[in-house]
Chain A
């Protein structure tokens, strides 16, 4: 049956190409949208992923890493003496402007970290030395924004919120939804952001080896009641939920992904159905010579699996090439093995479901038609 299914499939080459086109289209569009969406989600949580903290203490009302709220600096000290806590460090996170040599300005998110502990970054340093952060009035900027900052190079001096700083190193790809990240030593960042010395924006906490971050977080909630306490996983989830529920990104990408799947489904359904209609007499013959509707269902199932497999491989190859072609610091498709696996399963379901239209026609087919 499998051989017959494959022979019939490859015999109608145009129909096969049409069906494969439908699968490939669905794979490309859904993966491009889902990959972009996941990439943006990754961008929105990259500071949480790379800060090195197991637990975040944030001002009340904080749902993601955002500027605005403040905590007393004593929160860091109180956190440090909480059972299960190995270390705690304050973190500055504030908006600022970089003044270009031509007089214009460019937005930047300043992250102030205690040095040399370096909890909170920088990471992915592509030029210069991140230890330059320990030098006076030195910052680490985003490499992809150098042109925006007026042709910035290592050693270039720019005013950030009116304070002259030197570029000591460059990171790559640290561009979230908003302005790109720029790192400074904690006190420099505090001065740039005009944050009082008894205030901070976040407190990062590391737990002792073997301790459960959830239990330590519970203890911290009692110890620092003015802060909202998130484990790393909770803060990531909260950030993603914030983006999904407070912005149109989730709906936009979700709709486009669904649209791709629907269009692919329609193409696959119609071409498979059209192929069955073209070969109706042959299917009638199969029934007349003793084949059951179940036998023909197996035949269509084999074809569906083949279409899904071939279409997925082709589509994923194309989308991988696309991803490499459009990769930039601002945008990166997050194409992962789980996404690819989910795509193949989704395409299998799509093709099998699409073949049901054909099966309905086959079920009604009377074998006596071969005598007409």
Chain B
């Protein structure tokens, strides 16, 4: 399998002087295409910081990060949106759907950002919502959906346009056990059936068994890796 992510000696320091806080302390990390990795650890351990750097929404202080063979460290801020559109789909902890848009519009909006035409994006959005079991709820707004359904819309949005990398930040945090498991199974299905590389940051030990690899972080460093 080809390498999807390669991170070497990545550090991230917030602030300067005596108030400086080092969130990542020389992290080395890699993922293969089609792999599902879960990143676990206590709050403040650096999981989300690493996810943000890999997701091109935050720059590393030092080190080197490569996504699908393209080095992203040192690129200007203005290049980041294009990288995110090319490589990454996000699933956020609080689903972060646009409240004024319907499920279909939330998904097709992402597709339009990725260059799809209006009609094409609508058709594709409906297909993706069918795939996550929400074909009959395409016209509903987020407030008219349950937590699990919202997260499934968020997954449909994340995979819209088939980005190779899915980054999920605590996707089960606001869900009950059953919905959380269902959402994670969907993410695993994406990795195994469609070849997406999926990195999940989570506290939720109930879903650990679905990971290809489980990585524990503490105090800005990896402390344990298990398959």
Q: Give every chain B residue within 8 A of A366 (Cβ-Cβ).
A: 57-58
Chain B, residue nearest A4 (CB):
B109
In the bound complex, do residue A370 and residue B96 qualify as a contact, i.e. CB atoms below 8 Å apart? yes
Q: Give every chain B residue within 8 A of A8 (Cβ-Cβ).
A: 98, 100-101
Given contacts A3-B105, A7-B100, A8-B98, contact A289 B52 (CB under 8 A): no
In the bound complex, do residue A281 and residue B96 qualify as a contact, i.e. CB atoms below 8 Å apart? yes
Q: Give every chain B residue within 8 A of A368 (Cβ-Cβ).
A: 52, 57-58
Complex CA–CA separation, A57 to B84 (angstroms): 76
Cβ contact of B96, chosen from A285, A291, A295, cutoff 8 A: A285
In the bound complex, do residue A371 and residue B52 qualify as a contact, i.e. CB atoms below 8 Å apart? yes
Confirm or deny: B51 has a beta carbon within 8 angstroms of a beta carbon on chain A: yes
Complex CA–CA separation, A291 to B99 (angstroms): 17
In the bound complex, do residue A290 and residue B85 qualify as a contact, i.e. CB atoms below 8 Å apart? yes
Chain A, residue nearest B89 (CB):
A289
Complex CA–CA separation, A289 to B85 (angstroms): 7
Confirm or deny: B22 has a beta carbon within 8 angstroms of a beta carbon on chain A: no
In the bound complex, do residue B113 and residue A291 qualify as a contact, i.e. CB atoms below 8 Å apart? yes
Confirm or deny: A194 has a beta carbon within 8 angstroms of a beta carbon on chain B: no
Complex CA–CA separation, A285 to B109 (angstroms): 12
Q: Give every chain B residue within 8 A of A286 (Cβ-Cβ).
A: 98
Complex CA–CA separation, A288 to B109 (angstroms): 13
Confirm or deny: A11 has a beta carbon within 8 angstroms of a beta carbon on chain B: yes
Cβ contact of A371, chosen from B48, B85, B112, cutoff 8 A: B48
A residues 1-53 near B (Cβ < 8 Å) are 1, 3-4, 7-8, 10-12
CB distance from B212 to the nearest CB of A (A): 23
CB distance from B150 to the nearest CB of A (A): 13
Q: How many residues of B contact A (CB 8 A)?
A: 28
Q: Give every chain B residue within 8 A of A282 (Cβ-Cβ).
A: 96, 98-99
For chain A, which range describes its interface: under 10, 10 to 19, 20 to 34, or 35 or more residues?
A: 20 to 34
CB distance from B76 to the nearest CB of A (A): 13
In the bound complex, do residue A4 and residue B110 qualify as a contact, i.e. CB atoms below 8 Å apart? no
Q: How many A-B residue pairs have CB under 8 A?
A: 70
Confirm or deny: A74 has a beta carbon within 8 angstroms of a beta carbon on chain B: no
Cβ contact of B105, chosen from A7, A287, A371, cutoff 8 A: A7
Chain B, residue nearest A8 (CB):
B100
In the bound complex, do residue B81 and residue A291 qualify as a contact, i.e. CB atoms below 8 Å apart? yes
Q: Give every chain B residue within 8 A of A291 (Cβ-Cβ).
A: 81, 113
Complex CA–CA separation, A18 to B127 (angstroms): 39
Complex CA–CA separation, A12 to B58 (angstroms): 31
CB distance from B202 to the nearest CB of A (A): 13
Complex CA–CA separation, A295 to B84 (angstroms): 14
Complex CA–CA separation, A12 to B157 (angstroms): 23
Complex CA–CA separation, A24 to B191 (angstroms): 53
Chain B, residue nearest A294 (CB):
B81
Q: Give every chain B residue within 8 A of A12 (Cβ-Cβ).
A: 100
B residues 3-41 near A (Cβ < 8 Å) are none
Chain A, residue nearest B169 (CB):
A371
In the bound complex, do residue B105 and residue A1 qualify as a contact, i.e. CB atoms below 8 Å apart? no
Confirm or deny: B114 has a beta carbon within 8 angstroms of a beta carbon on chain A: yes
In the bound complex, do residue B100 and residue A11 qualify as a contact, i.e. CB atoms below 8 Å apart? yes
Cβ contact of A290, chosen from B96, B100, B101, B113, cutoff 8 A: B113
B residues 48-87 near A (Cβ < 8 Å) are 48, 51-52, 55, 57-58, 80-82, 84-85
Confirm or deny: B222 has a beta carbon within 8 angstroms of a beta carbon on chain A: no
Complex CA–CA separation, A8 to B102 (angstroms): 11
Complex CA–CA separation, A290 to B92 (angstroms): 14
CB distance from A363 to the nearest CB of B (A): 11
Confirm or deny: A150 has a beta carbon within 8 angstroms of a beta carbon on chain B: no
Residue ranges of A at the interface with B (Cβ–Cβ < 8 Å): 1, 3-4, 7-8, 10-12, 281-282, 285-292, 295, 366-368, 370-371
Residue ranges of B at the interface with A (Cβ–Cβ < 8 Å): 48, 51-52, 55, 57-58, 80-82, 84-85, 89-90, 92-93, 96, 98-101, 105, 109-110, 112-114, 157, 169
Top 8 A-B residue pairs of the complex, sorted by shortest distance between their CB atoms: A11-B100, A290-B85, A285-B96, A367-B57, A7-B100, A368-B57, A368-B58, A290-B84
Beyond contacts A4-B101, A287-B81, A289-B84: 8 other A-B pairs, Cβ-Cβ < 8 A, are A7-B105, A12-B100, A288-B96, A289-B90, A289-B157, A290-B85, A291-B113, A371-B57
13 A-B contacts (beta carbon < 8 Å): A1-B112, A4-B100, A4-B105, A4-B109, A7-B101, A8-B100, A8-B101, A287-B57, A287-B81, A289-B84, A290-B84, A367-B57, A370-B90
